[in-house]
Amino acid sequence: MARAAAIFAASIAALPAGADTVVAVRTLRAQTVLTAADVMLSTATVPGAATAIEQVVGQEARSALYAGRPVRVQDVGPPAVVDRNQIITLVYVSSGLEIIAEGRSLSRAGIGDHVRVMNMSSRTTVSGTVQANGTVRVSN
């Protein structure tokens, strides 16, 4: 009896663990902020796909998402707060010195994303991180 239980336990442990996959309910355009009505769970297991609806709700589609297809984690990201060609404030802080300048964003980006920005005064391109208030903090 104990041996049968051990064999049963070993056979269950050998089975692959199933996971749900998030799929799009309808075709969604890029730059659409996803809601719970836009996605559902499917029993298929797809490597790299989101496994919980909470992972994608509130995120922005980086490319078109097609109905019935899995939503991969890299297909979504934080909603953009900076648009391409938008005039933004650049902030550089180092050793108590703060420099503020005007810049033009060279791409769309969300909070915490890195973005390249052209400094409007010097016409040089710098990189920085988008802050919650829409400014870009320039790194050294």
Give me the tens of pLDDT residue by residue for the chain, a chain 140 residues long: 555 444 444 444 444 455 789 999 999 999 999 999 999 999 988 899 999 999 999 999 999 999 999 999 999 988 999 999 999 999 998 888 999 999 999 999 999 999 999 999 999 999 999 999 999 999 76
**Same domain assignment for residues 58 and 89:** no
Residue-number span of the structural domain to which 86 is assigned? 80-138
In a domain, 47, yes or no: yes
pLDDT given for residue 16 in this prediction: 46
Write 87-92 long-range contacts (CB < 8 A, 24+): 87/120, 88/117, 88/134, 88/135, 88/136, 89/134, 89/135, 89/136, 90/117, 90/119, 90/126, 90/128, 90/135, 90/136, 90/138, 91/128, 91/131, 91/135, 91/136, 91/137, 91/138, 92/137, 92/138
How many separate domains does the chain show?
2
In a domain, 8, yes or no: no
Residue given tokens 């709700």 in the structure block: 57
CB half-sphere exposure, 104, CA atoms < 13 A = 8
In a domain, 5, yes or no: no
In a domain, 86, yes or no: yes
pLDDT given for residue 4 in this prediction: 47
Residue given tokens 């298929």 in the structure block: 44
In a domain, 44, yes or no: yes
pLDDT given for residue 30 in this prediction: 94
